[in-house]
Structure 1
């Protein structure tokens, strides 16, 4: 019985919700009709007469104050809505309406799949969306002490966000620690140091660990955060390499003796790869590019399975600096594969190589007269492919937006990845004659081929909608985040802007021409209520007078 009663109440509630959702217009007219019928006992006419007499006694100054106050309030709402939209990308009023009013009106989220088959059918696309919105370690990230901190000393601005540094701390704990660290005093200290938020506390812990033992991870921390120049960082990394190679050889001999030894060997492998990669980056920054290329190639041959560090992107940048375009093409042939995750470095480097073959002789006027040649068509298609993957990059390459220091983590296809790519590769595009001109003439044509709205892509999966939120977390607040696709202004911003302008105009006109505005207001109200009066006269003429008399006596 209780279950039957509960079911009846649920059905009754759903019926009421349905009626309010779809029949609200009927309810509204019924209420108006009842109010009109009961206008005599409710003394509505007398009250309206009293109100009209009161309004007639008001001076024009009151109406000026009323419209001016309305304009001020709507202007404040407009300013708040605009600020909220610029910061969070949505309208505050719209968000509150969707969050609080929709449940009251019985609205439901129809986007969620209602059956298991639909969920299974969307599994691949949702998995792809999640993977594309994953935050990746920037393979070309700068040194905190020698580069990021120097920027802070000069400008007084923090180039890294707390979210970005927190992700780096998690990476360090994953790569540089293991479960057996508590058995070794120096590693136990470093395990706590990687979790420390205060930079000075981390540096002090690293020095404390070095007093106990030659600890490779302690040298890494000092090279990353304490060294103020690349030369100092390279010296510390060389000391870390000496200590790391010894640990790696010892753990390599014991890796098959148990799970703990295997975990320790995996940690020592990560440490060694990280040190060698950073040493190669130091050589690249100090101008020893050929040495850096050799170190990167040797590292990729020695540890071919460790693709998490994306060392091939470091190699591509160094080869472009040497202008070894044939070697760059060989690396792209290996990594620009459909089964591997794409990146802006791969897509735009492939576009640069194809643009290099035609850019020095490319002329938009000549191309419009004779049409594009096969090589030019290939170059344009490569540019379109790159722009579809990351549409934020061209504005940085064409210097339409100012660059900032790249973050330590990037979001593929996002503004953070575009900054990281352009920061290191802009010089390579400038070195190829005519490449930026070709990019300038052709990159906007990409958007004519992408379906709108972005329910599907052209060459890649649809552009993920999560990039703006993640980029705002990764990039500093003083940088204006690039957003794609451009969001249209919400309705409530346009509405409040129109309301503010209209009420301000009314206040000004009422102040300047009080009598004329009074005549205009009376004419407007009489015109507005004319259809209602006409309908009421027709209703009174149709209904019998006896019925009308009985209803008014209720």
Structure 2
């Protein structure tokens, strides 16, 4: 009776063993193959999601859905709305670090960006970037008192410009009913700016239109300058006219630079900086640095750096890498890594290496473009400081200057990677600058076109679930292959594995059977 009760109690296990014994090797092949296929599909999706969004889908879903069930607290809840002063300062710092800036060397929309699109069929600018440009134009070229102008009686050109900039990237809306003709006839400086930026297909055409804009802009500037103290509205108009005039002169200087009249461009930039020293938002000194490097006027470059490479002023890749280039120029022609390793670095070489390390810490993406380890694209109209977009904008215009200095790229190639040994945890602690911001990848993906592979620093470690699914896929695929090739041997291994797996359960059942009375077993079997 005892044996019968035991057999009845463990009959489910017996049925399971009988079922497993009847399975053929084809079943195991199908099972392991299906598992490998499913895990492979999960791996592909996880990898795609990680490359696109920088995080694991399974991990993201687990955190967002399982954390509340496990007692986690939502960071956005009102109970956590009050933060410490340190957290507030940190968040403000992150916001300022992720601010995008107008590219001071941005190309011309019609004469350069559109020509690239005509040739390659690719769009070099993103909608986000163009929308930021539209917002900049509205900020610089319009004011609240525009509707009070006399031109409002007929076709208000300022209103046309406002609408045009709101719909920037879609100039066909103004071609209806001679829209561009209306703008061109009017003596509106911003109308000529729009034509020069959007419609001019060559730099020569753009320069002609900017010269016409300069005439109209100077008239408006002198008129508003005389009445700027007559009220807030007149002051706003004068501020707007000042921005328009500075923008026109800066773009004219850039036209001269692109047409080979570099000395003329340098003079225009210097005059502009003397006339409007407080308008630092245009970063005209970066245009001046690039033009001086083209003239190989390194003493003048050093003088500009002495003024703008100050601890109290915001840094940029142009400032840091130009300073590194000047110090590298003093030693690069005679620099030899073999000789330096034998005798050590002298003072000048040490200064050059430290300047390179400083520049690389500020923006670690630049060296790969300067060393042509990564292909360049057209720079965006806005850049994120310390991001890939700023690196592209700098290398696009300054690569030729590094090539012109003999040995500079060789020195950069030998020393730039040493920066990362000085800052092993760049997101937590910096060496000469603040810790590297964690928001650069997201902002750069919005600023740079889809066909460009965004450079990410520091390289993100693969999430656990990608490694897990990769291991699971490989293991099940190997089992499927072995089962297909050696069915009998794998069958023996499978039975041995299952026997080992159920051995603890059999042991527990035997112990329970020896302890409990047979009458209780009888009642359990009846249940």
TM-score under structure 1 normalisation?
A: 0.84
Deviation string 1:495-536 (CA, Å, 9 cap, x unpaired) is 111111222222222222222111110111222333454455
Relative to structure 1, is the Cα distance of residues 204 and 217 closer, same or farther in structure 2, using a 3 angstrom cutoff? closer
Relative to structure 1, is the Cα distance of residues 214 and 56 closer, same or farther in structure 2, using a 3 angstrom cutoff? same
Deviates more, 1:340-349 or 1:113-122: 113-122
Q: Which has the higher contact order (CA 8 A, sep 6+)?
A: 2
**Contact 2:213-2:248 within 8 A present in 1 as well:** yes
Q: Which runs of 5+ in 1 are unaligned?
A: 1-29, 43-49, 188-195
Number of the residue aligned with 1:371: 344
**Contact 1:387-1:394 within 8 A present in 2 as well:** yes
Relative to structure 1, is the Cα distance of residues 33 and 135 closer, same or farther in structure 2, using a 3 angstrom cutoff? farther
Deviation string 1:120-166 (CA, Å, 9 cap, x unpaired) is 13343332222111010000000010000000000000000011001
Deviation string 1:303-338 (CA, Å, 9 cap, x unpaired) is 111100000100110111111111111111111111
**1:297 has 2:255 as partner:** no
**1:64 has 2:29 as partner:** yes
Counterpart CA distance in 2 for 1:422 and 1:502 is: 45
Q: Which runs of 5+ in 2 are unaligned?
A: 167-181
Deviates more, 1:328-337 or 1:200-209: 200-209
**Contact 2:5-2:522 within 8 A present in 1 as well:** no
Number of the residue aligned with 1:165: 130
Counterpart CA distance in 2 for 1:199 and 1:546 is: 101
**Contact 2:158-2:190 within 8 A present in 1 as well:** no
**1:40 has 2:18 as partner:** no
Counterpart CA distance in 1 for 2:498 and 2:443 is: 51
Task: Return the offset for 1:205.
Answer: 7.8
Relative to structure 1, is the Cα distance of residues 383 and 536 closer, same or farther in structure 2, using a 3 angstrom cutoff? farther
Counterpart CA distance in 1 for 2:506 and 2:253 is: 86
Task: Return the offset for 1:339.
Answer: 1.2
Match of 1:204 among 162, 180, 183: 162
**1:107 has 2:72 as partner:** yes
Match of 1:410, SS state, is strand
Relative to structure 1, is the Cα distance of residues 167 and 327 closer, same or farther in structure 2, using a 3 angstrom cutoff? same
**Contact 1:510-1:517 within 8 A present in 2 as well:** yes
Task: Return the offset for 1:457.
Answer: 0.7
**Contact 1:67-1:506 within 8 A present in 2 as well:** yes
Counterpart CA distance in 2 for 1:366 and 1:93 is: 52
Counterpart CA distance in 2 for 1:32 and 1:356 is: 94
Alignment map for 1:466-485 (pairs within 5 Å): 466-485=439-458
The number of aligned residues is 510
TM-score under structure 2 normalisation?
A: 0.88
**Contact 2:309-2:319 within 8 A present in 1 as well:** yes
Counterpart CA distance in 1 for 2:7 and 2:191 is: 84
Counterpart CA distance in 2 for 1:207 and 1:481 is: 28
Alignment map for 1:293-332 (pairs within 5 Å): 293-332=266-305
Counterpart CA distance in 1 for 2:345 and 2:254 is: 40
Relative to structure 1, is the Cα distance of residues 206 and 69 closer, same or farther in structure 2, using a 3 angstrom cutoff? closer
**Contact 1:186-1:210 within 8 A present in 2 as well:** no
**Contact 1:203-1:222 within 8 A present in 2 as well:** no
Relative to structure 1, is the Cα distance of residues 111 and 166 closer, same or farther in structure 2, using a 3 angstrom cutoff? closer
Deviates more, 1:129-138 or 1:399-408: 129-138
Deviates more, 1:74-83 or 1:118-127: 118-127
Tell me the C-alpha RMSD between the 2 structures.
Answer: 4.3
